[in-house]
Chain A
Amino acid sequence: MSIIRANQLDAWEKRVDTGVHFMLGNYALVEGAISAGCNFFAGYPITPANEISERMSQRLPQVGGKFVQGEDELCSIFALAGASLAGAKVMTATASAGYNYMQEGLGYCYTIEAPVVVADVMRTRGDNFASYADVYQLRYGCSGDYEAIVVCPSSVQELYDYTIWAFNLAEKYRNPVIVMSEATISLMRERLEIPSADKIEIFNRKYTTAKPSEYLPFGAPENGCPDFAPLGKGYNTIYSLNPHNEKGGIDWDPDDFERLYKRVCGKIRENADEICRTEQYMMDDADYVIVTYGSEVRPSIDAAKLAREEGIKVGVVKLCNIWPVPETAIREVAGNVGKIFAVEMNIGRYCNEIARVAAGKCPVVPVTKNRGQIHTSAELLRVIREETK
């Protein structure tokens, strides 16, 4: 079995700081990574993600891991690829502008199916205020075909929990996973409860049991991912960005190319229902629903409560991940309510995905704020009142 518990990890006593804490969001994310078994981190300074590197540089040596401050983001992401293929659980953290630089390395990781976790503490262009302007960059930033997995914590507790989830997804699907955050929750301190290590489920990548002569480095079931082989043990694997068949290599063949990307994308697309998570609040009798993600979830829940005090039955659907799009959950909700409010902190982006999935079943009203701060519940209530007259 590749599922274990955190108390089976090396140095787990130092990894899992069980108990109740009052902790900074960026620190909670680090603790989540360490609890998940992260043993390599490379990063380059950028605000508002710096506390992640700083705490990693302190924590990783305590648990036998390695921290590297790269000369740039490219070094960081490619060092992650190298360390991941060498067997480590790896992470980097950056913010929007730094995430740009990492596209090349992420593209490599998607192609050769290296599990890596990237925290993007998103910020406004050219300054450090809160924003979710890059939700499409997280999905479409790299060249070539791939499918992204992006999880969206909405609190300090979820920065811890979802980072563990991100590592498990990365290991299970051999795919990069992005933890999407922003300054509001990353630079906030609040209650964090770290469970005991035996309660934390950890997924570790699968290694082949085949002999080197029989091993197919990119052979996998339909919509599945291949088993790893250790480096330097005679498995002679070519991990190339170039198109390759099941044996690996760099030789062009249109059939191999088509088959490779059908699987690399299919392993995420066709397992979307297994990957996606949503949570529902006040949905039993809701006439209207707010569909939102990340730090906008909390003012949305408050606004729904305030609306209910005025007799407007509003519910909230929280998207725990935005990529792959939780289509099944959004479609179901769209068939049951009169209107969807798509609340987000940008000029209006993910509302397009929600509208696509709702597909005319109900109107989708974008509720956007692009001012470097999250919505207040009062602002959202005003829109709800206006739109439900």
Chain B
Amino acid sequence: MAEELKINPLRKYLREDKLPHFFCAGCGCGQVLNYYLQALDELKMDPEQMLHMGGVGCTARIPIYIKTDMFHGVHGRTLAWATGVKMVRPDLPVVIFAGDGDLSSIGGNHWIHACRRNLDVTVVMVNNMNFAMTGGQVAPTTPEESKTMTTPYGSSEPRFDVCSLAVAAGATHVERWTTAHPVQCKKAMERALQHKGFSLIEIVSQCPTHYGRYALKTGDPVKTMEYIQSVTYLKEQGEKMTVQEKEGKLALGQFVCEDKPIYIGSNMEL
């Protein structure tokens, strides 16, 4: 008896002609796309009425698979694009998918200034702790002492806490979760899409191909995710943890969510 073929209800949002996707087996980018489409679906937001952006990198390719207008292909400059778009089309929702390198390394200056201005965009930053598309080099988010393709003896640099930096720079909605938190990721994205102002959702994600193999000595996505779970803790749990216990670990949860005036560019009414 032929079983009825069930089609994923989120498939209607995908550009079928771009499939199959290019992500490695076990990569977290597919999960992030899934959580994001669930959030859009829940809010009944139509990506065809929105603008998505990706710079350069694995994460930047996530919106390639969504039926939407999209800017792509220049490393780190998505928030500069968005600054121009929002001055002309403040009505158009803009969602940016950026890797940790794209946002916090080459795009760092645009990012902190977009936070400061409270530019009305949503940024989904997938933090896989390395430059993955180029083959696994060290990133500003790579944990100290990690071995990568450009830190063969271990990284001697401290890493950024991207969420703390965004909060300090003035972002008005900041959350961090991991790919192992599907419900929290989806809910955080829903809050971000409804937030008026700069939203940053950081999702710590597994890169078994590069960070897994070089830094963790495993190409197994499950083991990579288990590692991520071992180096993260819920913000609420952190209140009972000592400084030593928190060292080298990232807090998960919501760090800020507040209403402040958004950036509207030059304005004669001030």
Contact in complex: B85, A78 (CB < 8 Å): no
Contact in complex: B266, A78 (CB < 8 Å): no
Interface status of B109 (Cβ within 8 A of chain A): yes
Contact in complex: B84, A80 (CB < 8 Å): yes
Interface status of A154 (Cβ within 8 A of chain B): no
Interface status of B67 (Cβ within 8 A of chain A): yes
Contact in complex: B69, A237 (CB < 8 Å): yes
Given pairs A68-B84, A78-B81, A231-B85, 14 additional interface contacts (CB within 8 A):
A40-B88, A66-B265, A67-B266, A68-B83, A82-B83, A85-B71, A86-B89, A87-B89, A231-B92, A232-B48, A233-B48, A233-B49, A236-B68, A241-B73
Select from chain B the residue with minimum beta-carbon distance to A56. B266
Interface status of A281 (Cβ within 8 A of chain B): no
Min CB gap B270→A, angstroms: 10
The answer for the CA separation of A231 and B89 in the assembled complex, in Å, is 9
Interface status of B189 (Cβ within 8 A of chain A): no
Which A residues fall within an 8 A CB radius of B?
39-40, 42, 57, 60-62, 66-68, 70-72, 74-88, 90, 104-105, 108, 231-242, 249-250
Contact in complex: A234, B81 (CB < 8 Å): no
A81 and B83 contact, Cβ closer than 8 Å, known pairs A61-B266, A75-B113:
no
Chain A's interface: helix, strand, loop or mixed, by majority?
mixed
Interface status of B82 (Cβ within 8 A of chain A): yes
A83 and B266 contact, Cβ closer than 8 Å, known pairs A108-B73, A234-B49:
no
Select from chain B the residue with minimum beta-carbon distance to A67. B266
Contact in complex: A42, B64 (CB < 8 Å): no
Residues of chain B in range 69-103 having any CB-CB distance to chain A below 8 Å:
69-74, 77, 80-85, 87-89, 92
Interface status of B268 (Cβ within 8 A of chain A): yes
A236 and B266 contact, Cβ closer than 8 Å, known pairs A78-B81, A81-B84, A90-B84:
no
Complex interface: chain B residues within 8 A of A83 (CB)? 84-85, 87-88
Contact in complex: A232, B74 (CB < 8 Å): no
A-B contact pairs, 10 of them (CB 8 A): A61-B267, A68-B265, A71-B110, A75-B109, A78-B77, A81-B71, A231-B51, A236-B67, A236-B69, A240-B70
Contact in complex: B85, A236 (CB < 8 Å): no
Min CB gap A211→B, angstroms: 13
| B74 CB contact (under 8 Å) in A40, A84, A104 | A104
Closest 6 CB pairs of A and B: A82-B84, A241-B73, A78-B80, A79-B84, A83-B84, A82-B81
Select from chain B the residue with minimum beta-carbon distance to A239. B71
The answer for the CA separation of A70 and B112 in the assembled complex, in Å, is 12
Q: Which of A40, A71, A80, A84 has the most CB of B within 10 A?
A: A71
Residues of chain B in range 28-73 having any CB-CB distance to chain A below 8 Å:
48-51, 61, 64, 67-73
A70 and B83 contact, Cβ closer than 8 Å, known pairs A61-B267, A231-B69:
yes
Complex interface: chain A residues within 8 A of B87 (CB)? 40, 66, 68, 79, 83, 88
Min CB gap A253→B, angstroms: 14
| A235 CB contact (under 8 Å) in B61, B69, B89 | B69
Contact in complex: A72, B109 (CB < 8 Å): yes
Contact in complex: B88, A88 (CB < 8 Å): yes
Contact in complex: B77, A104 (CB < 8 Å): yes
Interface status of B18 (Cβ within 8 A of chain A): yes
Contact in complex: A61, B81 (CB < 8 Å): no
Residues of chain B in range 236-270 having any CB-CB distance to chain A below 8 Å:
265-268
Select from chain B the residue with minimum beta-carbon distance to A242. B73
Contact in complex: B85, A82 (CB < 8 Å): yes
Complex interface: chain A residues within 8 A of B81 (CB)? 78-79, 81-82
| A232 CB contact (under 8 Å) in B15, B51, B71, B265 | B51
Complex interface: chain B residues within 8 A of A39 (CB)? 88
Contact in complex: A82, B82 (CB < 8 Å): yes
Min CB gap A93→B, angstroms: 15
Select from chain B the residue with minimum beta-carbon distance to A60. B266
| A240 CB contact (under 8 Å) in B73, B84, B89, B113 | B73
The answer for the CA separation of A79 and B67 in the assembled complex, in Å, is 23
Contact in complex: B266, A105 (CB < 8 Å): no
